[in-house]
Chain A
């Protein structure tokens, strides 16, 4: 007897709900981490709203042929934004579908049960839809409420906004399910080709960050008195108009929002939704089911040259190698650890080029060293977020390692030292780049490296210990962590607080002393250096306090 889709969905939803509330039921839910996660998300949305509001204010005041045209500017703004939102949601949809269909263990389990594959896939898509619906609400409301208030939109605008919240994930998931097979094939092609994977991912990240630097430069122009207006000359505006004319389906969304009773946009939206869903269903029937079954068969490809048992004698080095291989051979870990660490110096450099002149123009003083210290700590912290999974990454193997004759010191040291090596290489490149480009003298470059390293070490130690105290092991077969934990949010917050506290202190001190005519440049070295030593010392104490006892008494991980 076959179960229907409704009961499968109900079962899946119940399973997912139980998994989410499991830490509650066990009584070890990380409340602080959860609150910080929510607060960070709210802060990001608030930051976006502030910048978008400022940009919208400038963009709506642009004139074409010496005339204000707020409805057209609003239409263009919405078309471009929804174009970006659709791309974002399609990409995240592809990743979610791929994970749910080809990565989740329950598919294997349900495949062996009397559950139709169509119903199984359908129910998976509905649960993904519900997740995307929440994202859609957050994004759509942020954009539409900000713009709606600014252009004094009527009630129709808000009614259409509600409809778009429902329709948007439907369109994007349908498009995602069409693209998931090529994505999966590409993933299979790159599977086990770790070096190629690493190069491609790092290059893509580099390009993305270059584009981000361009956006940062535009924000700088905006902050320096609205000169960004001059960027939008007649030629640029004509290009934007042409682009918006052909940017489907986002131009239909914008059209429906700006003119609720416009037939063309509604017709287009309904047709594109229906076409996407139909095509997606055909695709599911023809290709995805087969791919899902082939995934269950697994692969058996040799990836290494044949070698004998290795001759190493050093347990610490062996654990270090194990840690490296674990990260390097898991694409998501490799991206979060190595690729981000490679790109970190570029982040510092790009931001330095933008912020150096910005600060000089705004304050009238040169703050290059202070800026370099601030950016190094900030991006160093963001690079070390990965360390917030240092323990959870091991999953059940953390228990197995406890059964080996290895001291707790060696286990933790191998994790911390690998992260420290990655941080050291990243910080060194960053310091060389900033000094070589002439922003700071060479001796300040050395100072920058030492300070960056000490703060990096503090990050690593705090992240590792926090993760140990709040470990959350994956229950998937491959043990891979697919969702960011509360520990990640806590470490982001600590990193932000640390960088803004230190950055703020050295900026304020230099500004006050210079305005009073005193040149106490050595105080920047003293203050930043002193705080770096203090943070590193505090983090070391936090890391080692009761560690040995807690290691032998460890029963966490929520598994």
Chain B
């Protein structure tokens, strides 16, 4: 089972809806579920989705624990693509695990 699981004891998601975030611009080895085109881009947490097994560990037959907080993150298309020709209100939503995100401004 891989769907939203019970939150680990004492766990609190590190981000809240509305928080500005940056996707880490890193290129680690192994199986990665954060698309290349979004790394280093800034967006806004649309919602906290739940806790899930980490697919980047599960890909190697491991349990995927500890569970990771998953967020739906919204990005302005004009921020993602240098020559985006659609409207300024066009967005892309991507499901991103917490270990790929950092706060835009340290509180």
Same complex for A and B? Answer no
